[in-house]
């Protein structure tokens, strides 16, 4: 795919982090990487799941939870978007629920003026257990209930983005429920074990079956809590080709969304129009 910027294309970037238990340290890292991605020409930047904290214990995220629309993390995110004049899909942050022991794992979207224009609460909560690993998000996270998309108007073109988070990737019915989108954005913190087995396959499958771009932002390394995440922040095109991939460590990938490519794939193989169920 050509990376030439024209009126029917949109430059995006996705950040990879190895987040720590230190909120301010993580915000500083996010700020630095957002600035670098913006300087590379990105108009929309994505942060990974749990970018603001990868705690020493699961309850650490409950300690820093914020109410909707207020709090230091949300204020900082709005500033990141405004200062860099970008759209920012802010990974996930913990928001309050009625249960004092739980949070919503929420992805927020900010426009270049710092206004929040989108919100998605993670629906599917990760559960995984072997002899050496155990994860049970439902113990500290309350599930969301509704699929969410957001739209951007750029150079007289409308771009439609779907929002999902990490474990959601395993549930194709969620992506069908969002309808036809130009790009699915997926902040994630896949474990090394499950990522090694399924990450690439699932991302490419969601792109192929929905004939859209998939932009994933990952955690990628060994964290202070000894959790190891898979990494491979990735951009996949509507034909299922991987356009960019950052295996591990902090950094970012950049690429271009093309209406021409979307139209080409959907016209040559009109699978979305052939659906029966």
> Active-site residues: which are they?
49, 122, 166
3-41 residues labelled b (16+ CB within 10 A) or e (exposed): eeeeebbbbbbbbbbbbbbebeebbebbbebbebbbeee
Task: Return the axis-axis angle of helices 72-84 and 23-39, rounded to nearest 10°.
Answer: 10
Contact status, residue 153 vs residue 10, Cβ threshold 8 Å: no
Sign of the CA dihedral with 225 first, then 128, 65, and 47 last: positive
Residue 55 Cα distances to 19, 20, 244, angstroms: 9, 7, 29
Query: What is the DSSP-derived secondary structure letter of residue 170?
Result: G
Q: Which two tokens stand for residue 133?
A: 């690993």
Residue 2, number of CB atoms within 10 A of its CB: 10
253-273 residues labelled b (16+ CB within 10 A) or e (exposed): bbbbbbbebbeebbeeeeeee
- Three-state DSSP at 162 gives strand
Residue 252 Cα distances to 17, 87, 189, angstroms: 9, 16, 15
Dihedral (C-alpha) 172, 173, 176, 178: value to the nearest 10 degrees?
-110
């Amino acid at each position: 795919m050509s990376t030439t910027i024209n009126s029917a294309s949109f430059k995006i970037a996705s950040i990879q982090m190895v987040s720590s238990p230190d909120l301010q340290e993580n915000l500083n890292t996010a700020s630095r990487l957002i600035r670098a991605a913006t300087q590379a020409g990105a108009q929309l930047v994505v942060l990974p799941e749990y970018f603001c904290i990868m705690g020493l214990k699961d309850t650490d995220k409950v300690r820093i939870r914020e109410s909707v629309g207020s709090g230091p993390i949300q204020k900082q995110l709005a500033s990141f978007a405004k200062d860099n004049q970008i759209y920012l899909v802010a990974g996930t942050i913990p928001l309050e629920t009625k249960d004092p022991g739980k949070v919503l794992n929420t992805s927020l979207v900010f426009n270049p003026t710092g206004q929040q224009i989108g919100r998605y609460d993670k629906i599917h909560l990760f559960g995984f257990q072997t002899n050496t690993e155990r994860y049970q998000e439902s113990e500290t996270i309350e599930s969301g209930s509704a699929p969410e998309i957001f739209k951007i108007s750029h150079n007289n073109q409308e771009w439609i983005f779907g929002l999902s988070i990490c474990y959601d990737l395993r549930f194709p019915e969620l992506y069908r429920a969002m309808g036809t989108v130009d790009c699915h954005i997926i902040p994630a913190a896949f474990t090394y074990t499950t990522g090694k087995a399924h990450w690439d396959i699932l991302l490419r499958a969601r792109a192929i079956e929905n004939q859209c771009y998939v932009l994933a932002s990952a955690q990628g390394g060994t964290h202070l809590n000894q959790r190891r995440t898979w990494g491979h922040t990735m951009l996949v095109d509507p034909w299922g080709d991987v356009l960019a991939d950052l295996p591990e460590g902090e950094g970012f990938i950049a690429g271009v969304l093309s209406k021409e490519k979307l139209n080409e794939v959907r016209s040559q193989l009109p699978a979305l129009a052939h659906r029966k169920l």
